[in-house]
Structure 1
Amino acid sequence: MYFHVQRLINDIEADEPDPAAANALQEGLGGQFGEMRTMMQYLFQSMNFRGPAGKPYRDLIQGIGTEEISHVELIGTTISRLLDGSPRYNGEKTDPLDTPGAGGATPLNLALDQGNIHHYLVAAQGALPVDSAGNPWSGSYVYNSGNLVLDLLYNLMLEATGRLQKCRIYEMTNNKTARSTIAYLIVRDQAHENGYAKALESLGVNWNTLLPIPKTNAERFPEVKKLTDLGLQSKQYTFDLAAQSEAGRIFQGMSPSKDGTNLVADEQAPQGVPSTIAEERFEEFSPGLDADLLALIQASAEIEMAEVSQTYGPVAPTS
């Protein structure tokens, strides 16, 4: 089972919209080496895992796969915020929809020459399950050989390639919204590299000084250095409510990145940050609830809302 906490795993810094940066981030979401790929690959590997003696390896893969679900949410939300209207459009909801906004800017003219026009035509200024070229995400990306060593090798390659691409995306934009998410994912990809490398070391593979891939000077990326100073590259979460994960048997000892840190897996999940819902974009012709429907839903919610247990188990009975 998976449980959802209505918090983002990392804060998204506010900045101006940037549709070009949003499209670059689509590669990190729906590309061959993006977050949708890592999420699906690790979850399928863990679901198909065989061999009770290998439980610590299954738990490591499953824990990282569960974290990747939150990365999909984080990067998708970031893309949506980067598409949240034109910086020059300051129209009001009372303006005629066929009239340009204040300053003479047409509401959605950015869609014609920046980023992916499908973000506006199809997705109402939101993320799509595609890469930066608009190609749909494919289940054929998922690698699940059934051989533990092969899967771990492939997973390490996947994390290293994803980290390489995110380092490139970081240098494509100085947008604070984009960089806050990119930097977090660069650091967490390194943590996952460390986890898979440590698992391979336990199976006789010596990585020596290969990691991290790519080798970057964190001081060049201030947002990354801020996180590595906190040791986030050497931490892995269990996402296990029942304290049954054995991933900590693998994710321990000196980091394979040779950065002087020790690997730790003693936390269930990060605290996260509040998750908020964006305002409607009326120029997208995607209205939400009118006043009458909103009032009806609110009245129904007050009648039907049930108290739900804060831990897993049956829903508490209502009076």
Structure 2
Amino acid sequence: MYFHLQNLINPIEQDEPDPAAANALQEGLGGQFGEMRTMMQYLFQSINFRGPSAKPYKDLIQGIGTEEISHVELIGTTIARLLDGAPGYHGRKGDPIDKPGLDGATPLSIALDHGNIHHYLVGAQGALPVDAAGNPWLGSYVYNSGNLVLDLLYNLMLESTGRLQKCRLYEMTDNKTARSTIAYLIVRDQAHENAYAKALETLGVNWKGTLPIPKTNAERFPEVKRLVDLGLQGKQFSFDLGDQSEAGKIFQGMSPSGDGTQLDASEQAPAGVPIEIAVERPEEFSPGADKDLIALIEATAAMEMADIDATFGKLSTD
């Protein structure tokens, strides 16, 4: 079973909208080496896993796959924020530009020559399951051979290539919103490289000779250095409410990165930050809820809260 805590796994910095950066980030979401692939690949590998005696490897893959769900949420939310608002007013609300068509205004005109027009035409200023060229994400990206060593090698390659691409993404934009997420994913990709490299080492695989990890020197990026200094590249979370994960049997000892740090799998999950629902976008007719629909939404929410209170008791406000 999976549960959702309504937090983002990492804060997203505020900056002006940047449709071009949003489109570039689509590669990190829906590209061949993006977060949608890592999520689906690891979850399918864990679902199809065979061999009870190898449970620590299943737990490691499943824990990383669960984290990747939150990465899809993070990068998708970042793309939406980079697109949020008619960029003609640079993300600042106010009449009359907020109102579609007022005095002949065309608040979505930037969609015609910036970024991906589908972000505005199809996605209502939100992320799409596509790469930076607009190609749809493909299930054929997923590699799940059933052979543990082969799967781990492919996973290590996937994380390494993903980190390389995110370093390129970082160099493409100075937008703080984009860079805050890109830097976090660079560091977590390194953590996952460490996890799969350590798993291969426990199986006697000389991965350094088989699949050298490229040197990107990403620590020169200030946002990345701050996270590395916190040791985030050496942590792996279990995301296991039942405290049954055995991934810590693998993710321990010295880091395969060779940076002199110790691996740590003692934490269930990062604290995260509260999710803020994006404001309405009148120029996209989103959500397009009139007074009657809003009343229905509020009534439905009240019914759901009543059911939760009846089942679990009222939430404490202390």
Equivalent residues of 2:82, 2:178 under 8 A apart: yes
1:99 maps onto 2:102 in alignment: yes
> Aligned-pair distance for 1:212?
8.2
Partner residue in 1 for 2:295: 295
1:15 maps onto 2:18 in alignment: no
> Aligned-pair distance for 1:9?
0.1
Deviations 1:243-291 (A, max 9, x none): 1000000000000000110000001100000101000110112243323
Q: Which amino acid aligns with 1:195?
A: A
Structure 2 CA distance for aligned equivalents of residues 143 and 54 of structure 1: 19
- The number of aligned residues is 311
Partner residue in 2 for 1:259: 259
Task: Output the aligned Cα RMSD.
Answer: 2.3
Q: Describe the shift of the 1:304–1:78 C-alpha distance in structure 2 as closer, same or farther (beyond 3 A).
A: closer
User: 1:28-177, aligned counterparts within 5 Å?
Assistant: 28-89=28-89, 92=95, 97-99=100-102, 106-177=106-177
Q: Describe the shift of the 1:301–1:93 C-alpha distance in structure 2 as closer, same or farther (beyond 3 A).
A: farther
1:185 maps onto 2:191 in alignment: no
User: 1:184-203, aligned counterparts within 5 Å?
Assistant: 184-203=184-203
Structure 2 CA distance for aligned equivalents of residues 218 and 96 of structure 1: 43
Q: Which amino acid aligns with 1:78?
A: T
Q: Which amino acid aligns with 1:92?
A: D
Q: Describe the shift of the 1:249–1:316 C-alpha distance in structure 2 as closer, same or farther (beyond 3 A).
A: same
Structure 2 CA distance for aligned equivalents of residues 113 and 100 of structure 1: 22
- Of 300-309 and 113-122, the range deviating more from structure 2: 300-309
SS at match of 1:306: helix
Q: Which amino acid aligns with 1:15?
A: D
Equivalent residues of 2:157, 2:211 under 8 A apart: no
Aligned-residue sequence identity (percent) comes to: 79
Structure 2 CA distance for aligned equivalents of residues 204 and 182 of structure 1: 33
SS at match of 2:181: helix
Structure 1 CA distance for aligned equivalents of residues 181 and 137 of structure 2: 21
SS at match of 1:265: coil
Structure 2 CA distance for aligned equivalents of residues 94 and 230 of structure 1: 43
Equivalent residues of 2:12, 2:177 under 8 A apart: yes
Structure 1 CA distance for aligned equivalents of residues 301 and 20 of structure 2: 40
Structure 1 CA distance for aligned equivalents of residues 267 and 185 of structure 2: 18
After TM superposition, the score normalised by the length of structure 1 is 0.91
Deviations 1:26-78 (A, max 9, x none): 00000000000000000000000000010000000000000000000000000
Question: Which ranges in structure 1 are unaligned for 5 or more consecutive residues?
Answer: none
Q: Which amino acid aligns with 1:193?
A: E
SS at match of 1:111: helix
Structure 2 CA distance for aligned equivalents of residues 43 and 16 of structure 1: 35
> Aligned-pair distance for 1:93?
6.5
> Aligned-pair distance for 1:113?
1.0
Q: Describe the shift of the 1:56–1:125 C-alpha distance in structure 2 as closer, same or farther (beyond 3 A).
A: same
Equivalent residues of 2:253, 2:263 under 8 A apart: yes
Structure 2 CA distance for aligned equivalents of residues 30 and 169 of structure 1: 14
Structure 2 CA distance for aligned equivalents of residues 216 and 263 of structure 1: 21
1:284 maps onto 2:284 in alignment: yes
Structure 1 CA distance for aligned equivalents of residues 45 and 147 of structure 2: 10
Structure 2 CA distance for aligned equivalents of residues 20 and 49 of structure 1: 40
> Aligned-pair distance for 1:84?
0.7
Equivalent residues of 1:190, 1:212 under 8 A apart: no
After TM superposition, the score normalised by the length of structure 2 is 0.91
- Of 291-300 and 140-149, the range deviating more from structure 2: 291-300
Q: Describe the shift of the 1:190–1:96 C-alpha distance in structure 2 as closer, same or farther (beyond 3 A).
A: closer
User: 1:205-220, aligned counterparts within 5 Å?
Assistant: 205-208=205-208, 213-220=213-220
